Amino acid sequence: MPQANILQKKSFSVALKIIAFCQELNTKKEYVLSKQLLRSGTSIGANIEEAQQAESRKDFISKFSISLKEAYETRYWLRLISESIVETQGKSQVLLDEVEEVIRILVASIKTAKSQLKK
């Protein structure tokens, strides 16, 4: 599972950036959206970390699938924030690009794990 190390680093980096972005949103008194973003954005990496201790290949796939769902939710909140709080568009787009990369890696990793499960 060499992708996991890359994914762990990437998701941790994204989480740190999301934390900083949410702190910035809080200074603008945007608490509801920032709370949703913070929850989903930090959950991506938490589930990837948990997958490293999976009890089986199916458990690993399940944890990565949860992480993928959280990444999609994070993408949604970032898009919503970008469209509704105009001055955040630049930072939102950078984060969106990074989340998209995490999504691509997760999708590829899940496909690989599922194909190995069938062998």
The three state secondary structure string of 16-55 is HHHHHHHHHHHHCCCCHHHHHHHHHHHHHHHHHHHHCCCC
pLDDT score recorded for residue 117: 83
Domain residue spans of the chain: 2-118
As a whole number of angstroms, the distance between CA 101 and CA 3 comes to 12
Q: Which of helix, strand or coil describes residue 119?
A: coil
Predicted confidence at residue 3, as pLDDT, reads 57
Q: Structurally, what CATH architecture does the domain formed by 2-118 represent?
A: Up-down Bundle (1.20)
pLDDT of residue 86: 80
The whole-number pLDDT of residue 43 equals 98
CB 28 within 8 A of CB 44: no
- pLDDT at position 87 is 87
Q: Let me know: does 17 contact 78? Beta carbons within 8 Å.
A: no
Averaged over successive runs of 10 residues, the pLDDT of the chain (119 residues) comes to: 77 98 94 96 97 94 98 97 89 96 97 88
